[in-house]
């Protein structure tokens, strides 16, 4: 495995992903699980957030103590399914700025079509978390990372809940400079580009469409 790829091993993450996979898991529970998993993954992904020392007066004395350096994070969900992951991560870092990249897969070619992109100011100065629950062929992720880079993004992490080996390979080869995080790496893709065993269509299951 490429050293830029991290697969989570925490039992809580594994357990909740297994619950997500279950076809009987309904929209409300599915959405809540995606949020919880994203929060747990975010805790680890944000381990290297930059810190600074500030002076604080405790009831006992004045001291210096570490806090997270402000205004340095951008969360970028890939629309639409990535939106399901934003709440969980924002619960950890409520003041993070949020950008959006609109991307959907052409069902015939499996290639991504971009329809929207709006990123926070000063993107070149920020740690950027691009989030999407599914990394399948890697086309959408590759295009989103290219997009963010074109706008000046440098310190990029891509966070997915379930990935296929094909997607991890494509993304890590196209962008060896980014960190990739996956809850699980599954067996592979079917002929329609769906992850096996996977969880089906993440966007439809989060939003209750179809």
Among the listed residues 105, 126, 157, 205, the single contact to ligand PRP using CB under 6 A: 105
In degrees and rounded to multiples of 5, residue 44 shows phi and psi of -80, -40
Q: Please tell me whether 139 is known to bind a ligand.
A: yes
Name the minimum Å distance from CB 139 to ligand URA.
Answer: 10
Residues 6+ apart with CB under 8 A from 162: 17, 133, 134, 135, 182, 183, 184, 185, 186, 195, 198, 199
Dist CA 48 CA 1 (whole Å): 21
Name the minimum Å distance from CB 86 to ligand PRP.
Answer: 13
> Residue number with the shortest CB distance to ligand PRP?
203
Where on the chain is the footprint of ligand URA (CB under 6 A)?
Answer: 81, 134, 136, 193-195, 198, 201-203
Tokens of 108: 């015939």
Dist CA 96 CA 38 (whole Å): 15
Q: Please tell me whether 133 is known to bind a ligand.
A: yes
Nearer residue to ligand URA within complex by CB, 35 or 74:
35
* In the block, residue with structure tokens 């980014």: 178
Q: Please tell me whether 102 is known to bind a ligand.
A: no
Q: Which residues of the shown chain bind ligand PRP in the complex (CB under 6 A)? A: 78, 80-81, 103-105, 110, 112, 132-141, 167, 193, 201-203
């Amino acid at each position: 495995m490429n050293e830029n790829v991290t697969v989570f091993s925490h039992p809580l993450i594994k357990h909740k992903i297994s619950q997500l996979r279950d076809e009987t898991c309904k929209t409300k529970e599915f959405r809540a699980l995606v949020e919880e998993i994203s929060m747990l993954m975010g805790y680890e992904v944000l381990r290297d957030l930059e810190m600074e020392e500030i002076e604080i007066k405790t009831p006992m004395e004045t001291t210096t103590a570490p806090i997270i350096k402000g205004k340095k994070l951008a969360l970028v969900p890939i629309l639409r399914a990535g939106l399901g992951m934003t709440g969980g991560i924002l619960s950890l870092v409520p003041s993070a700025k949020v950008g959006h990249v609109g991307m959907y897969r052409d069902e015939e070619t499996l290639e991504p079509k971009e329809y929207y992109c709006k990123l926070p100011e000063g993107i070149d100065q920020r740690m950027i978390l691009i989030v999407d629950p599914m990394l399948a062929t890697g086309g959408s992720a590759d295009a989103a990372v290219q997009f963010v880079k074109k706008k000046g993004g440098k310190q990029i992490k891509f966070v997915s809940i379930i990935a296929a080996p094909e997607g991890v390979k494509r993304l890590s080869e196209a962008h060896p400079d980014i960190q990739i995080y996956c809850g699980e790496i599954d067996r592979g893709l079917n002929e329609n580009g769906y992850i096996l065993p996977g969880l089906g269509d993440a966007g439809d299951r989060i939003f209750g469409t179809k």
